[in-house]
Each structure stands twice: as C-alpha cells, then as structure tokens.
Structure 1
Amino acid sequence: MSSISLQEKDKQDALTVQVPNYGEEYEEFKTLSKKYQGDVLRKLLRKIDCRLVPVFALLYLMSFLDRGNVGNAKVAGLTRTIPMSDKQYNAALSLFFVFYIVFEIPSQMMLKKFRPKWYISCLTLSWGLVMSLTCLIQSYRGFMAARSFLGITESGLFPAAGYTLSMWYSRSEMASRVALFFCAASVAGALSGILAYGISFMDGLAGMEGWRWIFLVEGLMTIVLGLLGPLFILDSTAYCGKWLSDEEKNFLILRQRYTETGPVPPAEHFDWKYVKMAFSDWQMIFQIGIYVAHGALGYSISFTLPVILKSLEFTTYESYLIPVPIYIVACVLTYFNSWWGDRRRSRFLHIVIPFTGAIIGVTICFATAGKKHITGVNLFGLILIVFASYSPVPTSVSWMANNVVGYKKVIAMGMLMGIGNCSGLIGSNIYLTSESPKYQTGYGISLALAAMGITCAIVLKIVYARENKSRDLSAFVARSLTLV
C-alpha cells in the first residue's frame, strides 16, 4: 500500500473516532446536507436574510443613532444651555459605557429566559423612552442620569441580536451578516448628520432649543420601532411560521446542532463551568484587544467628528452634512471587507487592512490639522479612520465564534462585548477641545490603538494556524471547524 493511501487511511480512522454515528437524526442531517448545497442553500439563505437581517440592522442603526447623537447635540448648543467643562462632558459620556458594560453579560444570560422578539422589543422601547426624556434635562446631573439609563437599556441589543443570528446561520455565513450591523452603525453616523441638519431648523419651536429636539425626535423614532418589533423580529426556527417548509426548518435545526458544535448537541442548561472556561481561554485576551482597538477608534470619532469639522472652519450646518459621505463610504468598505473575507474564508487579512488604514488616516489628519487648502486630504484621512472604526469587528467576532463552541460561545460573546466596550471609556476621553485643532492626545492614542489591533491579529493568526495544523482531520472537517 502506498504512503499516500496509508495517510488517507489514518485520516479516515481519525474521522471515525471524531465523528461517530449518532443515529437516525445524524443520518438525516447528512442526507439533508447533500440536498442543501449550492443554489438550493443560497435560495434558503436569501429567504432568511430578507426577514432577519434588515430588522436587526435597523435596530442597531437606531441604537448607534441614539447613543452617538450627543456629538451633534453639543454642536447645536447642549454645552451652552447646560454649562459643563470638557472633563465633565467626557465623564458623562463615559457613564454610558460603565452601565453598558455592567449590564451586558447579565443581559446575555437573560436570553435563555425570554423569547428574543419580546425581549428585544422591550429593550428598544426602553431606550427610546430614555432618549425622548433626555430633552427635558435641566442640569448636568440630569445629563449624567440620562446617559446612565441609556447605557442600561441599550446593553442587551447586540448580544441578543448576535445570539439570534447564530441560531440561523453557520459560522462561515456570520461575518457578512454581522457586518451589516456595523454598516448600519456607520449609516447611523450619516443619518444622524442629516437629521441634525433638518432638526436644527426647529430651534426655538415650542420654546425648545435645537439640541432638545434632536433627542426628542430620534427617541420617538425608536419608540415606534419598538412597538412594531414583535411583528417583525424573528425568534428561533421553532417560531418561524409557515414561510419555511418543515424540511427547511429541520435542516436548519440539525445544521446548528451538528455543524456548529460537531456531532454533539450543545448544552441546554447554564453551568458556571462555561463562565470559567470562557474567562480562562487565552484567545479572549487578543480578541478583546482587537475589539477595544476598534471600539475606541469608533466612539472617539463618532463623538468628536462634528467638533473636528468645526475646527476646520466649517459652519455648524456643514459640520452636520459633511460626515454623511464619510460614513457612507466607510459603510460600503466595511461590508465589502467582510464579504470578501467570507468569500476567501479568511479572517486575519481583513482585520489588518482596516487598522493599517487607520494608521495612515490618523497620520494624515494630524499632519494636515489646522492647515488651509488641504481639507480634502484631511477628509480622506477621516474616511480611513471611520472605516477602521467599524470594519474589523464583524470579522473578529466571526473569527472568535469559529473557535469557540457550545454554551461557552454564549458566555464568550457576552464577555467580548462587555469587556470590549470598555473601549467607550477610552474613546470618549481622548479628543480634548482644548487641544483643537491638532488633538495630539486623540491622534496619538488612536495610532497606538491601531497598532495594538494589528499585533493582536498577528498573534491569533500564528497560534490558530499552529492549532489547525496539529489537527489530524480531513480537509472538510478542518475547514468547518476553524477559519483562519
């Protein structure tokens, strides 16, 4: 027998050990898997995409719109009506993230207790109400309280959305769908500017300043979305109704059970050992590093972009509108980067490229800050920074999901989002108005964050590659277990 055939026999033996026959249900899954390939699978995924992705993208858009509109409110006169120093303003922004972080992991655990459609709808109504009532604040303490309650009520959305998507899509399909969330976040930046521009003409209407109308109008939009939520938000395949056939439902359920965790059904009950496993997993350190780098870049530019544009001698109205094309271009680049990563079944390169763009963009912005007649170059730099603010995370989250299974994945996702959102504490404090237009601290820390993101990606690439190489599995099984 040739050496090649011996190697093939060894792989078959290993596969026999790793993937035993689990009875009729597993055999049914293998039969359905042969049918749901190519065009048949793509048709099924399109049906799911049309019903699931737009709803969650819209929810995430409103979430980012409501948490980020404070930058436009500041330009519209918030800090003139309610006097506060730079440190006080940044401290209030930080409170949002403190409460967001504290309540995110408990919210993740509550997903096992409630159906997602009702839970997510209640969350949406809650933060919409908080945002609307923010228009009534009369003091700095009121502003701090409003940001705190907004953090509490928004904390559960992303874990709930990510968990719901994971019940419908395989690991290799997740990145491009999660990317739409972050595309929605960048669209929120564009929409926020357009809304702020329109609402600014309401300044003085009913005796209210323009910034109050920004909070009220955008909060009411969120409340309407929350009321409509139960009609459009999907739960698991068990509640999907008649738009899927029984065979399609069965395939999706079995695919989740036998592909996402191997041929062993995932644990149905919470156990503290999964928390311990998630917190002791070395890869979480570097995944969190990537998330912090992206988040700090994103929040810093989201809160500060209108102010940066004003420092370039744009008018208030121009400061509202100029971010629109910046965020739209970043949105297109973010989706293309994640789509390309899914198509190539690659993760590493599609994390490094955006962070490299951030280094170039920050360097351009710092070098051209305060100089006349080169505004176009400065705006190009801002586009690169905004691109890096959203693009790495869909790929990074999918990369982690590809390497963590079972209930541990649920805890790890909550841990990643919870600790990773500490980035908001960094991002809300690094751009200081007193340093305008150079913003030495902000641009300097942004460079360090981008470098940290690249470093973490390199470490993960090396270690994952070694782990994959050591697995003596068939090419198909190795490819489905881990994407690098």
Structure 2
Amino acid sequence: MFFFWALQCNPVLFTDVFKFDPCTAGQNGSLFKAGATLPRPDGEKSESSIPSDAGNHASEAIPTLDSHEEKCLLLKLDAVFVPVIMLVYLSCFLDRTNIGNVKVAGMPEDIGASDAESSTAVSIFYATYVAFESPWAILLKKLTPRVVLTGLCVLWSLTTIFSGFITNIGGLYATRLVLGACEGGLFPGLNLYLTVVYKREEQARRVSYLFVCAALSGTFGVFLAYVLLKMDGIGGYAGIFSILIGLLIWFGLPNDPTNASFLNEREKEMMQIRAKQRAQYMGSEEFSWEEIRMALKDFKLWISGAIQFCQDILLYGFSTFLPSIITSMGHSSIEAQYLTIPVYVLGGACFLTLAFVYEHLCIRGPFIAFANIFGIIGYILIICPTGNGVKFFGAFLCAIALNVNVAPHYRRAAAIGFQQTLGNTASIVAGQIYRTSPYLLGNVFSVSALGLAQLLILIKWLYIRRCNMLKEQIANGEMQDKRRVKTGDRELDFKYHL
C-alpha cells in the first residue's frame, strides 16, 4: 500500500503487537523517561534499555500535565477533529464502494459490461491506489495537510460526478483508475495527521472511528443508492457530497494542530508539551535503511501482514458485493439496497463496542479470533442450501466479523506500509472471486481465509506471549540478555499486546 511512503515518514505509531503498554505505565499511562528504571516484582530496579541521550528531547525535563486538564483537552480535540476526519473517510469509502450498489441497479447492462469486466473494474481501482500512496504522502510533508487532503477530496468528488456520464466499459475503467489515484493518499494522510494530534496510546480509539465510518458508508451508501434509483439519470451527482466535505477539510483541519485557533493559550501550551512527550518515543525523523531492514526481518510483521490479507478478503469482498449477494437470494435491486442497512448498522455497533472494550483490557488477539467465529458461521449459512431468512441472518454475522477486524494494527513506518500493501492485495483478489451469482467461489474463498486467519492469530499470539515472557525473565535477572538488537520494540520497557 504505502510502503515507500512509510520509508519517508518515521514517526508513525504502532499498536497491538508493537506497543508500549499504557496499562502498566502508571496512573496516567505516561511513557518511561530516558534513563528510567524498570520495576521488578521483588521491588528492585533494573536499568532501562533506553539510553539517557535518546531522542532530541530525552535530556530535557518535560513537565507533566494534569490528568483532568489533559482529559478536557482531549475532549475538545475530539469534538473538533474527529467529526471532520470521520466525514472525510465516510465520503472516501462511499465513493469507493458505490460500484457494488450501481451493479445491482443495472449499470453493467447499461454500458454493456460483462460480469468479468465489472469485477476487473473493482480490482483496477487498487492498482493506482497502491501506486499513488507514496507520492501523495510525500507531498503531504512537502506541502500541507490542508492543501493535499482538500485537493484529493475535490478531485475524487469530480471523478464520481463524471462517472454518471460514462457510456462504456472503458469509461468505467478510467474513472476507477482516477478514483484510486486520488483516494490513495487519504488513509496515510489521515493517520499521519493523527500522529501530530494524539499520543500513541490515544490513537487506537480515534482510528477505530475511521472504520466505523466504513460501516456507516455502507448504510449511507445504500440509502443514497435507493434514492437515486428513484431519480434515474442523476447518479453521478452523489459526488457533490464529497465536494462539500473538501470544503470542511480546508476550514476544519489546521496545518499546525498545536496552534489551532479554537485552542486557548493554556491549551496551546499543553499541546506543545504533548508534542515533546511524543518525540520521546517517536525517535528521529531521519530516514534509516537499517531500521527498514530490521522491520522487514521481523517475524511479527510477516505474520501480521498475512492475517490482514485474510481479514481484508472479507472487508473488500463483503462490503463491495453485499448488495449482489442479497440479490442472489432472490430480492430485487431496490430491496437489496435497503436490506443492507441493518447489516452495516449492526457491524458498526459491534466494532465500536469491542474497540472500547479491548482498548481498556489491552487485549486484541482473542477478540479478533472471537469475531471471526461469527464470520465463519455467517458464511456457512450463506453457502449452505438454507432459506433466504437464514442466509440473511448469516450476512449479519459476517458484518460482525468484518467491522471488528478492519482496523489495521499500526506499528513503525515500514511495518505499517508493508502490512497495508498486503491488505490491499486482498482487494484485487476480492474483485476476481465475486464474479457470477450465487457467488459460491467468493463466499467459499472468504470463509477459508477466515479459517486461515484463525490459525495465524493463534501462532502470533503464542509468539508474542513468548517474547513477553523472555523480556520479563531478563528484567527479573533470571536470564542473561544475549539479544543483538535491544532498541525499538526490543526494549524491555515495551510490552507486546496479546
């Protein structure tokens, strides 16, 4: 996805398996300072693996913030930034997946496209999506978030509007390629923006809001498709919504969040302090091939990428082709549009609920595996020769698994780039396995991917559990530290989330 962009943008948080554990970091979840010591169960202390001169701010005495004041600041930041970011991602995902809605509305027949050509139109979107992520993300650093994000939003909105006037498959291919090129910079751009607003331990919840929008886009998208089916001939004008969102970006996302106009002087001072605190664990922004090499040799990176590939088969296949799956049950195109609404609502609600639960428990793997069980059962109900009511219930179960698992598990820059690249490769596959009704191949492939994901999740859970045990034994003096690499996630201060 944005692998080469990741090489340029080092200060990206990484949660789940590569994360400092705020649950064990004291009352306020504060990070260990440079030269800090690690507590031992016996009350003694061992020297931290963080060098006393690490980072640009490590040697500075950074003041701590009052927890109540910081909580109020976070509420204010959320009230301003979260709605804007959610609406931006909503419009992006809406324009990306509406091809599934127009397919059941008769668009392929209108332009003379076969089932294979329609599937190709879904897949080629991600060719330019992957290719343009790096250039757009680099431009985000060279220009400003306001210019880049607003420009991208306006460009893909105009593309969506003009898609209403295509008359052949070549026009559809062209609009999908342009749409992918424009939307490729949004996700890395929003994540990079989050890293300059929130601390690492605060970002998981904010990222979860983005993926709730993926579910909301399904709800809003089918509602919009239902309305436009009643207003034949103006389908492309759905892109006007995204143009309005572009204006919201321009006025709602300041280039420098630490000096945002809605903050008072005390809050701006607190934002500056928080920026210094982030710098302690972000490290240098200078590019290092050695860091990239270490990341690519990490077993956790490869197995996490494989897990995300399996999960994204469900994400891109189910979210894009759900209207077609429901149509294959015998419902009309109009019925297929509004019957998807409760499915997406349930999925979004389950995702948001579990996101809050596993953030507080600092446990992720078991929740993902638990949600996958619902997806597996759901696909089995859809595949087996059961009644339409049972198949529709299966769609609800699939939505539970989908929206719990779409959020990527962020790590350092190279890791997130590579992992997302594997995830988007799944989107190309998904476009090819859902070709003709009743979509048996696509559904069987998806449930098989979830089954493989369960096995990989177990392997990963056992591996990082072993890593945590080794760190604990070293910190307790029970064994000698013979590891060659002791920085980054190898530091004893860092605890992997299971």
Q: Could you say which TM-score interval applies, normalised by the shorter chain?
A: 0.7 to 0.9
- Partner residue in 2 for 1:99: 128
Deviation at 1:278, TM superposition (A): 3.5
Question: Aligned partners of 2:316, 2:132: CA distance in 1, in Å?
Answer: 19
Residue 333 and residue 322 in structure 1: after superposition, are their counterparts in 2 closer, same or farther (change >3 A)? same
- Partner residue in 2 for 1:226: 246
- Partner residue in 2 for 1:18: 50
SS of 1:382's partner is: helix
Count of matched residue pairs: 442
TM-score for both structures, normalised by structure 1:
0.85
What amino acid is the match of 1:378? K
Question: Aligned partners of 1:67, 1:23: CA distance in 2, in Å?
Answer: 40
SS of 1:391's partner is: helix
Residue 217 and residue 5 in structure 1: after superposition, are their counterparts in 2 closer, same or farther (change >3 A)? closer
Question: Aligned partners of 2:81, 2:313: CA distance in 1, in Å?
Answer: 29
- Partner residue in 2 for 1:357: 374
Question: Aligned partners of 2:251, 2:188: CA distance in 1, in Å?
Answer: 20
Structure with the higher helix share, 1 or 2: 1
Matches within 5 A, 1:16-165: 18=50, 20=52, 26=58, 31-32=63-64, 35-37=65-67, 39-165=68-194
Contact 1:295 1:423 in 2 (8 A): yes
- Partner residue in 2 for 1:335: 352
What amino acid is the match of 1:459? I
Deviations 1:349-369 (A, max 9, x none): 122122221111111111245
Contact 1:300 1:429 in 2 (8 A): no
Deviation at 1:30, TM superposition (A): 5.4
Q: 1:367 aligns with which of 376, 381, 384?
A: 384
Deviations 1:43-88 (A, max 9, x none): 2221121122111111111111001111111122211111122111
Does residue 326 of structure 2 align to residue 323 of structure 1? no
Question: Aligned partners of 2:365, 2:202: CA distance in 1, in Å?
Answer: 16
What amino acid is the match of 2:442? G
Does residue 197 of structure 2 align to residue 177 of structure 1? no
What are the ranges of 5 or more consecutive residues in structure 2 without an aligned counterpart? 1-38, 477-490
Q: 1:388 aligns with which of 401, 419, 423?
A: 401
Question: Aligned partners of 2:57, 2:188: CA distance in 1, in Å?
Answer: 30
Matches within 5 A, 1:201-240: 201-203=230-232, 208=233, 213-214=234-235, 216-240=236-260
Contact 1:71 1:303 in 2 (8 A): yes
TM-score for both structures, normalised by structure 2:
0.82
What amino acid is the match of 2:174? A
What amino acid is the match of 2:195? S
Deviations 1:131-167 (A, max 9, x none): 1111121211111111111111101111111111122
Deviation at 1:175, TM superposition (A): 2.1
Question: Aligned partners of 2:40, 2:344: CA distance in 1, in Å?
Answer: 55
Matches within 5 A, 1:403-442: 409-433=412-436, 436-437=437-438, 439-442=439-442
Q: 1:191 aligns with which of 201, 207, 220?
A: 220
SS of 1:422's partner is: helix
Matches within 5 A, 1:225-304: 225-244=245-264, 245-258=267-280, 260-261=281-282, 266-304=283-321
Does residue 496 of structure 2 align to residue 482 of structure 1? yes
Question: Aligned partners of 1:19, 1:267: CA distance in 2, in Å?
Answer: 14
- Partner residue in 2 for 1:406: none
- Partner residue in 1 for 2:15: none
Contact 1:341 1:347 in 2 (8 A): yes
Contact 1:96 1:150 in 2 (8 A): yes
Residue 5 and residue 167 in structure 1: after superposition, are their counterparts in 2 closer, same or farther (change >3 A)? closer
What are the ranges of 5 or more consecutive residues in structure 1 without an aligned counterpart? 402-408
Contact 2:63 2:273 in 1 (8 A): no
Q: Percent identity?
A: 26
Question: Aligned partners of 1:243, 1:312: CA distance in 2, in Å?
Answer: 53
Residue 343 and residue 420 in structure 1: after superposition, are their counterparts in 2 closer, same or farther (change >3 A)? same
Deviation at 1:237, TM superposition (A): 3.6
Residue 46 and residue 159 in structure 1: after superposition, are their counterparts in 2 closer, same or farther (change >3 A)? same
- Partner residue in 2 for 1:404: none
Deviations 1:202-250 (A, max 9, x none): 11xxxx3xxxx33x22211112211331100244444423515233112
SS of 1:287's partner is: helix
Residue 482 and residue 313 in structure 1: after superposition, are their counterparts in 2 closer, same or farther (change >3 A)? same
What amino acid is the match of 2:378? G
Dislocated runs of 4+, deviation >4 Å: 4-7, 21-30, 477-481
SS of 1:20's partner is: coil
Contact 2:295 2:301 in 1 (8 A): yes
What's the C-alpha RMSD, in Å, of the aligned pairs?
2.5
Task: Please identify, of 83-92 and 452-461, the stretch whose mean Cα deviation from structure 2 is larger.
Answer: 452-461
What amino acid is the match of 2:66? Y
What amino acid is the match of 2:435? L
SS of 1:112's partner is: helix
Question: Aligned partners of 1:242, 1:332: CA distance in 2, in Å?
Answer: 31
Contact 2:56 2:284 in 1 (8 A): no
Deviation at 1:42, TM superposition (A): 2.5
SS of 1:453's partner is: helix
SS of 1:179's partner is: helix
Question: Aligned partners of 2:62, 2:258: CA distance in 1, in Å?
Answer: 21
Contact 2:119 2:432 in 1 (8 A): yes
- Partner residue in 2 for 1:378: 391
Contact 2:259 2:268 in 1 (8 A): no
What amino acid is the match of 1:460? K
SS of 1:13's partner is: strand
SS of 2:432's partner is: coil
Does residue 485 of structure 2 align to residue 455 of structure 1? no
Residue 7 and residue 137 in structure 1: after superposition, are their counterparts in 2 closer, same or farther (change >3 A)? same
Contact 1:128 1:223 in 2 (8 A): yes
Question: Aligned partners of 1:232, 1:456: CA distance in 2, in Å?
Answer: 41
Residue 235 and residue 287 in structure 1: after superposition, are their counterparts in 2 closer, same or farther (change >3 A)? farther
SS of 1:390's partner is: helix
Question: Aligned partners of 2:243, 2:419: CA distance in 1, in Å?
Answer: 28
Question: Aligned partners of 2:383, 2:184: CA distance in 1, in Å?
Answer: 33
Residue 161 and residue 420 in structure 1: after superposition, are their counterparts in 2 closer, same or farther (change >3 A)? same
Question: Aligned partners of 2:456, 2:190: CA distance in 1, in Å?
Answer: 26
Q: 1:344 aligns with which of 358, 361, 366?
A: 361
- Partner residue in 1 for 2:465: 465
Deviation at 1:254, TM superposition (A): 1.8
What amino acid is the match of 1:317? I
